[in-house]
Amino acid sequence: MPRRRSSAYQAAETTLKYANWAGNRLFNWASTDHSGLGRVFDAMPHQGLIEGLVNLIVQIIVSLISILFGAILVFVMVAYGVPFLLTGGF
């Protein structure tokens, strides 16, 4: 005599099947290169060690200058802006 499954079990089984399908489709979509950046990287000329290190050092220097500029900007806004607002200088 075959065992009959409940409708809740069949619903759960169907839901799991479609959730698995949706998860696979979502992963495939998320891992696809939609921007074409892979082709850009493939078309770029290869760099040697020295060129790569120079680019890395330039990026680090630009990042440090940006961080310094941002910190100075925040300091100026707090040091001059907060007293200006508190004293009602506007």
Please check whether residue 1 lies inside any domain of the structure: no
Range of the domain at 36: 7-44
**Secondary structure (H, E, C), the chain:** CCCCCCHHHHHHHHHHHHHHHHHHHHHHHHCCCCCCHHHHHHHCCCCCHHHHHHHHHHHHHHHHHHHHHHHHHHHHHHHHHHHHHHHCCC
pLDDT tens for 13-23 read: 999 999 999 99
Structural domain count of the chain: 2
pTM, two decimals, is 0.48
Q: How confident is the model at residue 1 (pLDDT cuts 50, 70, 90)?
A: low
Please check whether residue 17 lies inside any domain of the structure: yes
Assess whether 61 and 83 both reside in one domain.
yes
